[in-house]
Amino acid sequence: MTDMEPTSSEPLYPEEAQAKATILAECENLAAAAVTFVAVHFDGYGDSGVTGDVRCFDSKYYAYEEREPVAHDAAYLQEHFETLVPMGYENDCGGFGDVVLDVAARKITVERNDRFEDYTTSTYEI
């Protein structure tokens, strides 16, 4: 993940605001269980996509597939994390990313990476 501030200033939909509040309300319990990050990974293309299971980590930072999750059951947060997965990530060439809760900072970030197709054209006379 980057240290860039989010560029979206769009207000949250009511269900997103509720999901955020529910997730943040669990920070104290997660910290007591030595969980530092909670994350959900999403990936899709061609008009279909998948959201992974909620996974908990006890590392100093979160990076997808760089650390092994800890055995803390946060499945009860699945629906709330899925609510924060950005709409349309699965369309066309698709995209992937993570919804990540930094437990100590009590901050949720969304990193979305969009795929795109490109081409180059060469014209020459022979």
pLDDT digits (tens, 9 = 90+) for 29-59: 999 999 999 999 999 999 899 999 999 999 9
Structure tokens at 17: 């605001």
For residues 58 and 70, is the Cβ–Cβ distance under 8 A?
A: yes
pLDDT tens across 88-116, in order?
A: 999 999 999 999 999 999 999 999 999 99
pLDDT tens across 55-67, in order?
A: 999 999 999 999 9
Specify the length of the chain in residues. 126
Answer yes or no: is pLDDT of 119 > 50.
Answer: yes
For residues 89 and 95, is the Cβ–Cβ distance under 8 A?
A: yes
Answer yes or no: is pLDDT of 118 > 50.
Answer: yes
Q: What is the spatial distance between Cα 22 and Cα 16, in angstroms, rounded to a whole number?
A: 10
Answer yes or no: is pLDDT of 1 > 50.
Answer: no
Least confident of 60-64, 82-86, 95-99, 118-122: 118-122
pLDDT tens across 4-18, in order?
A: 444 566 899 999 999
Q: What is the pTM of this model?
A: 0.86
Q: Where do we find the tokens 């993570």?
A: 98
Average pLDDT score, the chain: 92
